[in-house]
Amino acid sequence: MPAYLTREHLGMHGSAADRKHSYHVLVALFDSKTRERITDARVKATVS
């Protein structure tokens, strides 16, 4: 989603929300059997 939509959370995003081509990436993981959210996962991503 465009970072400007997260503007109220500036503590998390610093001034990035003011840049034209800045985006917010959200990752949510769920167990496929229990459908419970996994809150302690480590995620590594590359965005280009």
Q: Is residue 45 part of a domain?
A: no
Cβ neighbours of 40 (radius 10 Å): 5
pTM for this entry = 0.51
Strand partners, 30: 37
Q: Is residue 48 part of a domain?
A: no
Q: Is residue 20 part of a domain?
A: yes
Domains identified in the chain, total number? 1
Residue 20 to residue 4: CA distance in whole angstroms:
8
| pLDDT tens sequence for the chain (48 residues) | 566 666 665 555 555 555 666 677 788 999 999 999 999 999 998 888
Q: Is residue 47 part of a domain?
A: no
CB 2 within 8 A of CB 23: yes
Domain carrying residue 32: 3-38
Q: Is residue 11 part of a domain?
A: yes
Q: Which residues contact 27 (CB under 8 A, 6 or more apart)?
A: 43, 45
Strand partners, 9: none
Q: Is residue 24 part of a domain?
A: yes
